[in-house]
Homo-oligomer: A and B are copies of this chain.
C-alpha cells in the first residue's frame, strides 16, 4: 500500500457518484499534479485485488469504480448514464444461482437498468444534456 494508492482510494471514497478511471484521473491530478493515467489504472487494479474497491461493469463505455463496502447492487440510468447504489430487499438479501459442478464463485454483481427519478420520461438526449449542464455547473 503506497501513498499513491491511498490517495486514489481516498478520492474514490469521497466520490458520491461512480467515477470511471478517467474521471478519477482528473480528480487525482487536481489533488496532486504529475499522476499518470497508467498509475490510476494500476492503483485501481491493486485496490480491487485487495477487495478495497469494486469494479462495476454496467455500461458499455467504461468500467466504474465503487468504494462502498456494504453488499449492494447498482442501477444504471439509460437516459443520463449515471450509476446509483441500490439495496437488496431484506427478505431476499441476495440473488442465488445454481453453479455447475466444479465451478467456484468469488464475486457477484447485480445490475439493474432503467430510468432514474430525475430523468423520468424525458427523452434520452434531453436527459443526458440536462445532466451534463448540471455537472458542468458543479453538480
Contacts and interface: CB of A to CB of B under 8 A. Distances in A.
A88 B78 contact: no
B75 A86 contact: no
A105 B106 CA distance: 27
Given A86-B100, A97-B110, A100-B116, 6 more contacts: A57-B111, A78-B106, A92-B92, A97-B112, A103-B114, A108-B111
Contacts of A92: 92, 95-96
Per assembly, the copies of the chain total 2
Nearest to A92: B96
A137 interface: no
Nearest to A87: B98
A117 to B, nearest CB: 3
